[in-house]
Amino acid sequence: MSTLTVHQVRRRYLVLHGLRWLPVGLVIPVIILLMQERGLSLTQIGLAAAAQGLLVLALELPTGGLADALGRRPVLVVAAVVNLASTGLLVVADTFALLVAVWALQGVYRALDSGPLEAWYVDATLAADPDAAYEKGLAQGGTVLGLCIAAGALLSGGLVALGPLGPVSALTTPVVVAVALQLVSLVALVALLVETRPAAGSGALRSSVAEVPRMVGQAFGLLRRSRVLAALVAVELFWGFGMVTFETMLPVRLAEVVGDADRAAALLGPASTVAWLASAGAAALVPLLTRRLGAPAGAVLLHVVQGVTVVGMALLAGPVGVLVAYFLCYAVHGAANPVYKGLVHRQVDGPHRTSVLSLTSMVAMPSAAAGGVLLGAVADRASVSTAMLAGAVALALAAVGYLPAWRAARRTTAPAGPGADASGTDAATVVPGPRGASMPPALRE
């Protein structure tokens, strides 16, 4: 794949991963309040965001197959350009139709972006050293993600606190800065991500596109052959739906408690920084958790606890209580994400890695879109707290999807029996993969 060493691959992955998420940190604290400032209700916001989920549903697998067939680098470059267009449009979008267009472009971007960088990192690491533990880099990626979003959120809060800059409103200023950072990310992507692929050209492109249906079909074949992988993909149904509570509902809930949208936005900057620092710290502690409990058991615990933290955000009366629950929620989220990714990677081999990651995103994004519409409607008609309680139930139910992986991990410590391979793992539930894809009782992230 390249002449890079394991350490070089990891460093480049972490730099690109951080630059990808830094602009997101700027936008997260203001996006919902910005759309409300431009006249949208929560129901309309949910409908606009649904455009993202629908396009991800339509494009996720084809773009994942394209990345596996054509190469991760060209797909990521196109994704970065689309992201720039989306964020640039957000700066000026002041109608429901334009905001739908913003979210539609985000859907195209998310379909192109989900998976290729992570797949490149894992495959480049194994190409440099087949025995390398790529899990360490994925866990570090979770820490970098949290730190970069925290830094972006802190900057966002500061920019909002400065107030309007000429014709640019206080809530729009962080979006303008995010556009500039996305340009930096695109330049770094072109410079740092290298991969060895067949010769480029129109013939190579046509051949790669023709390979997409086969890659997609094989990705679905992995689900049919692996009960563990199928259940892990199903986790995203509940997780995606429930994440609306702390990604979309929390800013509204805080504004409700504080009594002022601009004050809530200013608070969300430093609050998001603390939340993402908690996420980064929790991601760094994942190896300790998985050594103590095992990855599947740890994931079950984390999802149940995350549901409890959302209940706290919904029911606690003052801003301090709401924010403490928010911090705990993101700490749990920061730990759960790398555990989940590690479990998925252990169930798939390199040629289909992006396609399978796209499968998980294909499930998550429409589920999040449905959550945005349904929970947004509940919030408008009942209350934000009621909507958050419904989302908390969905987050806790995501834990059920880890049970097949938990059973497989427990069998690795039991004597081999009928239907088990030499390690005690049910051979019918395991897809061959790098360094063996049997489910270890503890994963690095």
* Mean pLDDT (whole number) for 401-418: 71
Cβ 365 vs Cβ 52: under 8 Å: yes
* Mean pLDDT (whole number) for 437-442: 27
Q: How confident is the model at residue 219 (pLDDT cuts 50, 70, 90)?
A: low
Each domain of the chain, given as residue ranges in start order, spans 6-429
Q: How confident is the model at residue 197 (pLDDT cuts 50, 70, 90)?
A: low
Q: What is the mean pLDDT of the chain?
A: 81
3-class DSSP assignment, residue 93: coil
Phi, psi of 303 (to 5 degrees): -70, -35
pLDDT on residue 314: 93
Cβ 127 vs Cβ 197: under 8 Å: no
Residue 433 has pLDDT above 60, yes or no: no
* Mean pLDDT (whole number) for 124-152: 84
pLDDT in tens, 299-334: 999 999 999 999 999 998 788 999 999 999 999 998
- DSSP letter at 165 equals B
Q: Which residue would you say has higher pLDDT here, 66 or 76?
A: 76
Task: Quote the distance between the C-alpha of residue 21 and its chain's center.
Answer: 10
pLDDT on residue 439: 27
For 6-429, the fitting CATH number among 1.20.1250.20, 1.20.810.10, 3.40.50.180, 3.40.47.40 is: 1.20.1250.20
Residue 357 has pLDDT above 70, yes or no: yes
Q: Which residues of 62-97 are buried (b: 16+ CB within 10 A; e: fewer)?
A: bbbbbbbbbbbbbbbbbbbebbbbbbbbbeebeebe
pLDDT on residue 139: 79
pLDDT on residue 423: 32
pLDDT on residue 91: 93
- DSSP letter at 427 equals G
Q: How confident is the model at residue 97 (pLDDT cuts 50, 70, 90)?
A: very high
Q: How confident is the model at residue 422 (pLDDT cuts 50, 70, 90)?
A: very low
pLDDT on residue 212: 60
Residue 30 has pLDDT above 50, yes or no: yes
Residue 84 has pLDDT above 90, yes or no: yes
* Mean pLDDT (whole number) for 174-183: 95
Q: From residue 429, how far is each of 34, 121, 341, 348, 414 by CA, in Å?
A: 46, 25, 18, 12, 16
Residue 434 has pLDDT above 60, yes or no: no
Residue 189 has pLDDT above 70, yes or no: yes
Residue 368 has pLDDT above 90, yes or no: no
pLDDT on residue 349: 64
pLDDT on residue 204: 52
pLDDT on residue 444: 26
Q: What's the rounded Cα separation, in Å, for the pair 172 and 94?
A: 11
Distance between first and last Cα of the chain: 24
Q: What are the respective helix, strand and coil percentages of the chain, to the nearest 5? A: 80, 0, 20
Residue 186 has pLDDT above 50, yes or no: yes
Residue 425 has pLDDT above 70, yes or no: no
pLDDT in tens, 326-351: 999 999 998 998 888 888 877 776 56
Q: Which of 6-10, 122-126, 311-315, 348-352 has the lowest mean pLDDT?
A: 348-352
Residue 60: CA atoms inside 13 Å, Cβ hemisphere, count?
Answer: 23
* Mean pLDDT (whole number) for 16-24: 94
Start-end of H helices in 198-226: 202-225
Q: Which residue would you say has higher pLDDT here, 94 or 442?
A: 94
pLDDT on residue 39: 86
Residue type at 380?
A: D
Q: How confident is the model at residue 362 (pLDDT cuts 50, 70, 90)?
A: confident
Total Cβ atoms within 10 A of residue 5: 14
Quick one: what percent of the chain has pLDDT higher than 70?
83
Q: How confident is the model at residue 215 (pLDDT cuts 50, 70, 90)?
A: low
Cβ 269 vs Cβ 30: under 8 Å: no
Strand partners for 426: 420
pLDDT on residue 59: 79
pLDDT on residue 350: 58
Q: Which residue would you say has higher pLDDT here, 19 or 354?
A: 19
Cα diameter, the chain: 73
